[in-house]
Amino acid sequence: MSLFNRLKVDANEAWTAYTGHPFVAAMGDGSLPQASFRHYLVQDYLFLIQFARAYALGVTKANTLADMRACSAAMSAILDVEMNLHVDLCGEWGISPEELEAAPEARATMAYTRFVLEAGHRGDLLDLMCALSPCVIGYAEIGKALARTSGPDNPYRAWIDEYAGDAYQQVAQDARDFLDKLADETLTGKRYPRLLELFRQATRLEADFWEMGLHLSD
């Protein structure tokens, strides 16, 4: 079993609450209010800025050029591809990239991103990748699941197609493979409980992020 699947099974309750959250279900059937999606999308843009920094931290934590390149490629995928979706969608509402970047961070955004960055600063590259994986791989699973059940007229189809598409699915597969590579090198039985706790907490913070969007809380 891959490390990611092992973590997901052992944190099943938190994982199910995240991937099956009412916000996700409402996106899937198109019933999510546009105001909720807009609030989420602005915060997710700010979230991705911090996640790009997390991958930059990964470059400094890497022990090999190959690992440095893997982290650099993931950072580029965020900065040069994924964030463009947010810019395009928000542009339809008259929100400029400058306004997106200047938006205040919600508490759920700060809590999650700072948790991940702290995990990376305190630990090594495997710690950091475990904390990042619920987002990176979880969005691929969510997008693929929603693509199977959502119709072409779904108002959130562009978001769904982005994360269900081949390009992002490959990003997620690369993240799985990288996690397994790092685990083969440094994972021990004694260390696993710590990694599981990082994964579980990051997954709970993902659910909190959905909750923020659903209730437009700060």
CA distance 120 to 124: 6
Here the tokens at position 57 are 């931290």
Name 78's Cβ contacts closer than 8 Å, sequence gap at least 6. Answer: 48, 51, 52, 55
pLDDT number for residue 86 = 93
Residue 216 has pLDDT above 80, yes or no: no
What span, in angstroms and rounded, lies between the C-alpha atoms of 53 and 59? 10
Q: What is the predicted pLDDT for the residue at 217?
A: 44
| Active-site entry in 82, 135, 141, 162 | 135
pLDDT, tens digit, 9 for 90 and up, residues 38-83: 999 999 999 999 999 999 999 999 999 999 999 999 999 999 999 9
| pLDDT of residue 14 exceeding 60 | yes
pLDDT band at 218 (very low <50, low <70, confident <90, very high): very low
- The helix/strand/coil state of 64 is coil
Residue 18, helix vs strand vs coil: helix
Q: How confident is the model at residue 209 (pLDDT cuts 50, 70, 90)?
A: very high
Average pLDDT, the chain: 95
If DSSP codes are grouped into helix, strand and coil, which group holds residue 151?
Answer: coil
| pLDDT tens digits, 131-164 | 999 999 999 999 999 999 999 999 999 999 999 9
Of all residues in the chain, the percent with pLDDT exceeding 90 is 94
Whether domain 3-26+39-215 has CATH 1.10.1740.10: the reply is no
135 catalytic? Reply is yes
